[in-house]
Amino acid sequence: MGEETTPLLTVDNLTIEIAGANVVDGVSFTVARGEVLALVGESGCGKSLTSYAMLGLLPPAARRIAGRILLEGTDLAAMSERQLRKARGKDISIIFQEPSASLDPLTTVGSQIASAFRQHHAVSGTEAFARARDMLVAVGIPDADHRLHQYPFELSGGMCQRIMIAIALICGPRVLVADEPTTALDVTIQAQILDLMKQLVATSGTSIVFITHDMGVVADIADHVAVMYAGRIAEIAPVRDLFARPAHPYTALLLASVPRLDITPKANLATIEGSVPFPNEFGYGCRFASRCPLATDRCRAEQPPLFEQGGGHRSACWHINRVHELKENAA
Amino acid sequence: MSAPENVLEIRNVAVHFQGRAGLFGRSAHTVKAVNGVDLDILKGETVALVGESGCGKSTLSNTIVGLQPPTTGSIRLGEDEVVGATGRALNDIRRKVQMIFQDPALSLDPRFKIGAAIAEPLQVRGIARGKALKQRVSELLVQVGLRYEHADRYPHQLSGGQRQRVVIARALALEPALVVCDEPVSALDVSVRAQILNLLVALQKRTGVSYLFVSHDLAVVRHICDRVVVMYLGRFVEIADRDTFFANPKHPYAKALMAAVPEADPERQRNKEGNKERYILSGELPSPSNIPSGCAFHTRCPLATDICTRDRPELTPRADGALVACHHA
Ligand SMILES: Nc1ncnc2c1ncn2[C@@H]1O[C@H](COP(=O)(O)OP(=O)(O)OP(=O)(O)O)[C@@H](O)[C@H]1O
Ligand SMILES: Nc1ncnc2c1ncn2[C@@H]1O[C@H](COP(=O)(O)OP(=O)(O)OP(=O)(O)O)[C@@H](O)[C@H]1O
Ligand code: SF4
Ligand SMILES: [Mg+2]
Ligand SMILES: [Mg+2]
């Protein structure tokens, strides 16, 4: 069917400038209905800015200088603040990186969830509270009637994160942007939250843009993966393809640097020498060139476009056919 | 003299924090952060300490390096008793054991240049001065993969991974027998993490130093350690050699941890799904000021029965050498 191929969300050439540098530079990706796209990359590569831009919530220092955010054809980036407020929560929701910073410490969690519902629904307080209670049950918080009347400080980190998810989902958004929703949690609690999110995708068809830097989490939850490096998409691929056949040197080295079952303990892990360039050092070529073992003069001079590898696997590298050498060296 | 040699012997160590007294003179609750643990670490061995947030890993680490006095128990470093040591004796002990913290930004004073930070422990103890000091600092920098030029920089002029290298150089300055590493790579990016892990392994090969390595990342633990200790609410619930542990974890909590850690491999991760179901824990870690009766894990344990709510299981040896504290595992 023709309609099946229209993505629910399209981010097209998103470019964000801070202090004269494009800290997010020409980022494009699409997310289908009910799909999880993982956005990965090291600290400072622009994951959070990309996610804020999707909801029109950029910090004052940052300016979107190009790009469209199409939700079923409607450009969120072209909306007024008033229109955006209507869209947030109902069409697209976000869970922020720091849960403690985004819950109001002086309001009970029940009121916070209920008021998120009333943003978009003209219902009585009682009705909204009933919805909030249902939502607490849905996100797996036991003893909901009691919890509704508690304050954030009375709940554990894992429960606060569930409250955030409840707030983000109560108006049934089509897209959920989750910025490192489990990074601060223990692994057993992380496993609960990941299962909850998978269940939500399966039952409601919500699409998720899931930001993380944990390759294990990516392997667990993602359908597609976009790897960012220094503000650009380095590689984007279906999850199994990315792990089995990385087509960008950065991805290949990143995967080889993670300790795995099939590596002899205490053997040397692959490393990426050097560090991520600062925005004022970006230059004209491939932003990975200063650390890339395959880099040539062309890499330093000319920015590689995203080359299609087939099956939706794309990589921005001039030497894709040599990437396998890195994998072999590391093993 | 008995070989192999223990660098650390912990016996029955408990660390309890007295909470503030409640209203109306109700008795203060006690936080039992560490609740009676025994552990030996051999020369050149790496022991990993794993468990959820709040189970007492940092408290035990701080106690071992002498930053936190234990409520009861004994801690021996070689010939010396740490508990109750003062003055010169304590000073000598501190030389033998060093600590690396999670956040390199917090363990370096932003006002001191890197060279001064590394030189400090050597100067304080009058181990080296002048040219010899400079020489030693330079050696240490090279040992952790930095260059002498880095000595002239301030911490903020280095990346996170470079700062953690400086912290490691500083910890090694006094040639300790044991380095307690409390989540040394958790705050670092994946690509940098590998560099630091490689460095820790290489340094151990060269100097024979022992590590107590605190981490919640089981992939990292499997990579770096020789033995695994699993902690739950202040007690050890399983102790086993690396290969034994990863082939066959026995305590239900150890199994749950293993099932919960996502593997960086979509095929394997999704294949274990069915298996995992059984071991996704419901509920959260109870408070260490109100530890459940019997087996502290019984409130979340899929195997729990009556006896678990009454009797606390002791660590007992199993056929493959693992020590496990569980009535049913
Ligand atoms: N408010 C701000 N003012 C100035 N610079 C900023 C601001 N927010 C982000 N930046 C810069 O923009 C770049 C991208 O930041 P962003 O927060 O998107 O990274 P990230 O990928 O989310 O990193 P992390 O994994 O650490 O959360 C970084 O270089 C960062 O220093
Ligand atoms: N100085 C203190 N006073 C009172 N309680 C404390 C003190 N230090 C630690 N605790 C408590 O002791 C328990 C164990 O804390 P600890 O920091 O050792 O845990 P941890 O295993 O290192 O956790 P994490 O993985 O979060 O670092 C916690 O409940 C903590 O709140
Ligand atoms: S384009 Fe060149 S520098 Fe960039 S990743 Fe590919 S090989 Fe490395
Ligand atoms: Mg971020
Ligand atoms: Mg700790």
DSSP state of A168: H
- Whether residues A216 and B159 touch (CB distance < 8 A) is answered with no
Rounded Cα–Cα distance for residues A270 and A251 (Å): 12
CA nearest to B77, candidates B180, B170, B169: B180
Q: Which of A158, A189, A213 sits opposite B189 (nearest CB)?
A: A213
In the structure encoding, which two tokens stand for residue A175, read together? 């897209």
Q: How many helical (H) and strand (E) elements, i.e. helices and strands, does chain A have?
A: 13, 12
Asked whether residue A158 is domain-assigned, the answer is: no
**pLDDT, tens digit (0-9, with 9 covering 90-100), for B268-296:** 888 876 655 556 777 777 888 889 999 99
Count Cβ atoms within 10 A of the Cβ of residue B322 and give its class: 0-12 exposed, 13-18 middle, 19 or more buried.
buried
Sign of the four-CA dihedral A327, A328, A330, A331: positive
Rounded Cα–Cα distance for residues A264 and A262 (Å): 7
Query: Which ligand 1 atom is at minimum distance from the Cα of A50?
Result: 18
pLDDT at A64: 95
* Mean pLDDT, rounded, for B194-211: 93
Query: Which ligand 2 atom is at minimum distance from the Cα of B234?
Result: 14
CA nearest to A184, candidates A52, A51, A95, A92: A95
Is it the case that residue B104 has pLDDT exceeding 80? Answer: no
Tell me how many degrees the CA angle B177-B178-B182 measures, rounded to the nearest 5: 160
CATH number of the domain encompassing residue B47 = 3.40.50.300
Assess contact for B169 and B118: CB atoms under 8 A: yes
Our CA-based measurement puts residue A269 at a distance from the nearest CA of chain B, in whole angstroms, of 6
Asked whether residue A300 is domain-assigned, the answer is: yes
Q: What is the secondary structure of B97-116 as a DSSP string? A: EEEE-S-HHHHS-TTS-HHH
pLDDT at A182: 85
Please list the helix, strand and coil fractions of chain A in percent, rounded to the nearest 5, in that order.
Answer: 40, 20, 40
Nearest ligand by distance to the CA of B56: 2
Q: Name the strands in the sheet holding B80-81, side by side, starting at the edge strand that comes first in the sequence.
A: B30-42, B6-18, B72-77, B80-81
Asked whether residue B113 is domain-assigned, the answer is: no
Tell me which chain A residue has its CA closest to the CA of residue B257.
Answer: A188
- Whether residues A266 and B257 touch (CB distance < 8 A) is answered with no
Question: Which residues of chain A neighbour B219 with C-beta distances below 8 Å?
Answer: 216, 258-260
Torsion, CA B81, CA B83, CA B87, CA B92, rounded to 10 = 40
Q: Output the CA A59–ligand 1 centroid distance in Å.
A: 10
Size of interface A-B (CB pairs under 8 A): 126
**pLDDT, tens digit (0-9, with 9 covering 90-100), for B297-318:** 999 999 999 999 999 999 999 9
| Strand B72-77 with A74-75, pairing | unpaired
Assess contact for B190 and A229: CB atoms under 8 A: no
The residue written with tokens 């040394």 in the block is B184
Confidence of residue A99 (pLDDT cuts 50, 70, 90): low
Rounded Cα–Cα distance for residues A18 and B298 (Å): 52
> Which structural domain, as residue segments, surrounds residue A253?
244-331
pLDDT at B20: 61
Atom 10 in ligand 2: residue holding the nearest Cα? B33
Asked whether residue B126 is domain-assigned, the answer is: no
In the structure encoding, which two tokens stand for residue B214, read together? 């605190």
pLDDT at B1: 47
Asked whether residue B306 is domain-assigned, the answer is: yes
pLDDT at B27: 55
Asked whether residue B77 is domain-assigned, the answer is: yes
Torsion, CA A198, CA A201, CA A204, CA A208, rounded to 10 = 130
pLDDT at B276: 55
* Mean pLDDT, rounded, for A28-34: 95
Q: Which of B17, B35, B230, B291 to mutate to test the pocket of ligand 2 (most atoms within 8 A of CB)?
A: B17
CA nearest to B220, candidates A257, A308, A16: A257
Distances (CA, A) of B219 to A107, A213, B10, B223: 40, 15, 26, 6
Tell me how many degrees the CA angle A254-A256-A259 measures, rounded to the nearest 5: 105
In the structure encoding, which two tokens stand for residue A86, read together? 């209507």
Confidence of residue B255 (pLDDT cuts 50, 70, 90): very high
Asked whether residue A290 is domain-assigned, the answer is: yes
> Please, where are the H alpha helices in A119-238?
125-138, 144-147, 157-169, 187-204, 215-221
The phi, psi pair for B307, rounded to 5°, reads -60, -30
Q: Output the CA B212–ligand 5 centroid distance in Å.
A: 13
Asked whether residue A143 is domain-assigned, the answer is: no
Rounded Cα–Cα distance for residues A147 and B272 (Å): 33
pLDDT at A276: 82
Confidence of residue B21 (pLDDT cuts 50, 70, 90): low
- Whether residues A253 and B191 touch (CB distance < 8 A) is answered with yes
Distances (CA, A) of B323 to A67, A232, B256, B313: 59, 49, 17, 11
CA nearest to B131, candidates B121, B143, B119: B119
Report the domain count for chain B: 1
Asked whether residue A261 is domain-assigned, the answer is: yes
- Whether residues A270 and B194 touch (CB distance < 8 A) is answered with yes
pLDDT at B191: 77
Asked whether residue B237 is domain-assigned, the answer is: yes
The residue written with tokens 């089509």 in the block is A174
Lining ligand 2 with CB less than 6 A are: B 17, 31, 33, 51, 53-59, 288
Assess contact for A233 and A310: CB atoms under 8 A: no
User: Which of A190, A248, A250, A258 to mutate to test binding with chain B, by most B CBs within 10 Å of its CB?
Assistant: A258
Q: Touching check for A270 and chain B: CB below 8 Å?
A: yes
**pLDDT, tens digit (0-9, with 9 covering 90-100), for A191-244:** 888 988 888 888 888 999 999 988 999 999 999 999 999 999 999 999 999 999
pLDDT at B273: 64
Asked whether residue B231 is domain-assigned, the answer is: yes
The whole-chain average pLDDT of chain B stands at 89
Asked whether residue A299 is domain-assigned, the answer is: yes
Ramachandran class of A20: left when φ > 0, alpha when ψ lies in -120 to 50, beta otherwise: left
Cβ–ligand 3 contact at A292 (below 6 Å): yes
Beta bridge partners of A209: A37, A177
Rounded Cα–Cα distance for residues A184 and A170 (Å): 23
Residue A162 has, within 13 A of its CA and on its CB side, a CA count of: 29
Asked whether residue A209 is domain-assigned, the answer is: no
Is it the case that residue A3 has pLDDT exceeding 90? Answer: no
Rounded Cα–Cα distance for residues A272 and A295 (Å): 13
pLDDT at A11: 97
- Whether residues A187 and B268 touch (CB distance < 8 A) is answered with no
How much of chain B exceeds pLDDT 70, in percent? 94
Is it the case that residue A42 has pLDDT exceeding 90? Answer: no
Atom 18 in ligand 2: residue holding the nearest Cα? B56
Q: Which of A191, A259, A268 sits opposite B260 (nearest CB)?
A: A191
- Whether residues B262 and A268 touch (CB distance < 8 A) is answered with no
Q: Which residues contact B315 (CB under 8 A, 6 or more apart)?
A: B236, B237, B238, B239, B323, B324, B325
pLDDT at A259: 86
Our CA-based measurement puts residue A12 at a distance from the nearest CA of chain B, in whole angstroms, of 28
The phi, psi pair for A36, rounded to 5°, reads -110, 120
CA nearest to B155, candidates B103, B193, B197: B103
Beta strands in chain A (DSSP E): 9-18, 21-31, 36-40, 62-71, 74-75, 92-95, 175-179, 207-212, 224-229, 232-238, 307-308, 314-315
Query: What is the value of ipTM here, to two decimals?
Result: 0.82
Q: Touching check for A269 and chain B: CB below 8 Å?
A: yes
**pLDDT, tens digit (0-9, with 9 covering 90-100), for A289-317:** 999 999 999 999 999 999 999 999 999 99
- Whether residues A269 and B261 touch (CB distance < 8 A) is answered with no
Asked whether residue B329 is domain-assigned, the answer is: no
**pLDDT, tens digit (0-9, with 9 covering 90-100), for A124-175:** 999 999 999 998 888 888 788 889 999 988 887 778 888 988 999 899 899 9
Please list the helix, strand and coil fractions of chain B in percent, rounded to the nearest 5, in that order.
Answer: 40, 20, 40
CA nearest to A258, candidates A213, A297, A310: A213
pLDDT at A155: 83
Report the domain count for chain A: 1
H or E element at residue B49: strand B46-50
| Strand A36-40 with A307-308, pairing | unpaired
Buried/exposed code over A244-282 (b: 16+ C-beta within 10 A; e: otherwise)? ebbbbbbbbbbbbbbbbeebebbeebbbbeebbbebeeb
pLDDT at B249: 95
Highest averaged pLDDT of the listed ranges A76-85, A101-110, B182-191: A76-85
> Which structural domain, as residue segments, surrounds residue B54?
6-96+176-324
Asked whether residue A99 is domain-assigned, the answer is: no
Asked whether residue B211 is domain-assigned, the answer is: yes
